[in-house]
C-alpha cells in the first residue's frame, strides 16, 4: 500500500493494527485446522534495519513511477520503532504454527508489469527473498506477485529462484494481469459486482490443469474475501452465499477453490470480518464432513499433485 498511503492517514494506521490481525488469524486457523499460505514481503522478514540491510539486492528496478520504489523509504531501527516495515517476530510465529506456510510476495513488493524493471531485477529480488527467508531456516516455494502482475516472460526466473507455484489472476476480464495505469474504473466495478452478484459460482480449477508445461504450478485465485463495508451490510448474505457456492462447486466436483485476502482487510471492522470468515469456515467444515473437502496451503497442493493426486 506504500505507493498510495501516507503516514498519518486512516489506511496507514490500519497497517500497524494488522499485526494484531495476523496473530488473531493464525490463532483462528490453528483452532479450526485451516492450512494457509502467507505471501510475505521479504523486507518484512527482518526484525532490525541492520538485518534488512544484510539482504538487500544489488540490482534493483528503476520504475518510471518513482512512488513504486521502496528502497528510498526510511526504515526504523527495529520492530518496536517501525512496526510497519519490520515484522520478523510475526514471520517466526507463522513458521512455528502448524499448517501455516510462509510464502513470498517478492522481496520488495516487486511489480512485474510496470515500466523500468527487467527480468534481471526480478531475479535479484527473488534471490534476496530466499536469502532472508533462509536466515529464518525457511525455503520459499510459493509466490504471490504484487497486484497479481504475473508476467509470463518471467516464468524461468521464478523457476530458477526455487519456486514451484504461483497464484495466477482470477480468470475473468476484471481480474486480468495488468499494470496499474491500465486499470480502468469499469474493471473495479466488475470486481465489486462479482463479489455479490455473479451469475455463476466463483471459478474453481481442475487439479490436472494446475501443472504448466514449464514445470511451474499455477494455483489461480477463485475469490477475494472483500473487506466488510457498513454501506453494503445488506448485501452480506449475498456475499456469503456466493462464496459458499464456490466451495460447494469445488467439493462436489473435486476441484480447487482458492480464497485470498490481506490481514489489513480485517482491521477496520474486525468483529464483522471475522464473523464472515467464520461463516465461510463453517461451510467448509460441512463440506469436509460430507464431501471429504481438504484445506491446503499452496505448497500442500503442489505436494498433493507430486504424490499422484487427482480430482478424486
* CA-based max dimension of the chain: 53
Per-residue pLDDT, averaged over 33-60, amounts to 97
pLDDT attached to residue 311? 38
Per-residue pLDDT, averaged over 1-14, amounts to 72
Task: Tell me the average pLDDT of the chain.
Answer: 90
For the entire predicted model, the pTM comes to 0.90
Quick check: is 311 in a domain?
no
Quick check: is 2 in a domain?
no
Quick check: is 98 in a domain?
yes
Q: Is 56 helix (H, G, I), strand (E, B) or coil?
A: coil
Quick check: is 122 in a domain?
yes
Are residues 134 and 141 in contact, defined by beta-carbon separation less than 8 angstroms? Answer: no
pLDDT attached to residue 180? 63
Quick check: is 1 in a domain?
no
Distance CA 49, CA 96 (A): 23
Element (H, E) at 260: strand 259-260
Are residues 171 and 200 in contact, defined by beta-carbon separation less than 8 angstroms? Answer: no
Grade residue 201 by pLDDT with cuts at 50, 70 and 90.
confident
- Confidence check: pLDDT of 219 > 80: yes
Question: What is the domain extent for residue 33?
Answer: 10-306
Better-scored residue on pLDDT, 184 or 269: 269
Element (H, E) at 212: none
Q: Length of the chain, please?
A: 312
Distances (CA, A) of 75 to 50, 67, 145: 10, 16, 23
Pairing of strands 259-260, 223-224: parallel
Quick check: is 3 in a domain?
no
Least confident window among 4-8, 189-193, 213-217, 253-257: 189-193
Total domains present in the chain: 1
Buried/exposed code over 143-158 (b: 16+ C-beta within 10 A; e: otherwise): bbbbbbbbbeebbebb
- Confidence check: pLDDT of 176 > 70: no
Better-scored residue on pLDDT, 2 or 158: 158
Tell me the angle at which helices 270-291 and 236-253 cross, rounded to the nearest 10 degrees: 30
- Confidence check: pLDDT of 310 > 50: no
Quick check: is 102 in a domain?
yes
Quick check: is 289 in a domain?
yes
Question: Which CATH number do you get for residue 73?
Answer: 3.20.20.370
Least confident window among 169-173, 191-195, 233-237: 191-195
Amino acid at each position: 500500500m506504500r505507493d498510495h498511503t501516507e503516514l498519518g492517514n486512516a489506511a496507514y494506521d490500519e497497517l500497524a493494527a494488522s499485526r494484531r490481525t495476523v496473530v488473531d488469524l493464525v490463532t483462528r486457523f490453528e483452532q479450526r485446522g485451516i492450512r494457509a499460505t502467507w505471501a510475505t514481503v521479504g523486507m518484512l522478514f527482518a526484525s532490525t534495519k541492520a538485518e534488512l540491510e544484510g539482504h538487500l539486492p544489488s540490482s534493483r528496478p528503476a520504475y518510471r513511477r518513482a512512488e513504486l520504489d521502496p528502497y528510498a523509504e526510511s526504515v526504523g531501527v527495529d520492530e518496536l520503532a517501525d512496526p510497519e516495515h519490520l515484522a520478523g517476530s510475526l514471520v517466526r510465529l507463522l513458521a512455528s504454527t502448524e499448517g501455516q506456510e510462509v510464502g513470498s510476495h517478492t522481496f520488495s513488493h516487486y511489480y512485474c508489469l510496470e515500466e523500468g524493471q527487467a527480468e534481471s531485477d526480478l531475479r535479484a529480488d527473488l534471490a534476496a527473498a530466499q536469502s532472508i527467508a533462509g536466515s529464518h531456516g525457511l525455503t520459499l516455494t510459493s509466490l504471490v506477485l504484487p497486484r497479481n502482475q504475473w508476467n509470463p516472460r518471467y516464468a524461468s526466473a521464478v523457476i530458477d529462484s526455487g519456486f514451484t507455484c504461483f497464484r495466477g489472476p482470477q480468470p475473468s476480464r476484471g481480474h486480468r494481469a495488468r499494470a496499474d495505469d491500465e486499470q480502468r474504473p469499469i474493471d473495479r466495478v466488475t470486481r465489486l459486482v462479482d463479489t455479490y452478484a455473479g451469475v455463476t459460482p466463483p471459478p474453481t480449477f481442475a487439479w490436472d490443469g494446475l501443472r504448466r508445461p514449464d514445470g511451474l504450478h499455477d494455483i489461480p485465485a477463485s475469490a477475494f474475501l472483500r473487506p466488510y463495508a457498513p454501506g453494503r451490510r445488506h448485501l452480506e448474505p449475498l456475499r456469503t452465499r456466493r462464496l459458499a457456492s464456490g466451495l460447494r462447486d469445488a467439493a462436489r466436483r473435486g476441484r480447487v477453490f482458492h480464497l485470498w485476502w490481506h490481514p489489513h482487510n480485517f482491521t477496520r471492522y474486525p468483529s464483522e470480518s471475522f464473523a464472515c470468515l467464520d461463516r465461510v469456515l463453517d461451510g467448509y467444515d460441512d463440506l469436509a464432513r460430507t464431501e471429504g473437502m481438504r484445506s491446503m496451503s499452496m505448497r500442500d497442493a503442489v505436494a498433493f499433485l507430486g504424490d499422484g493426486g487427482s480430482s478424486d
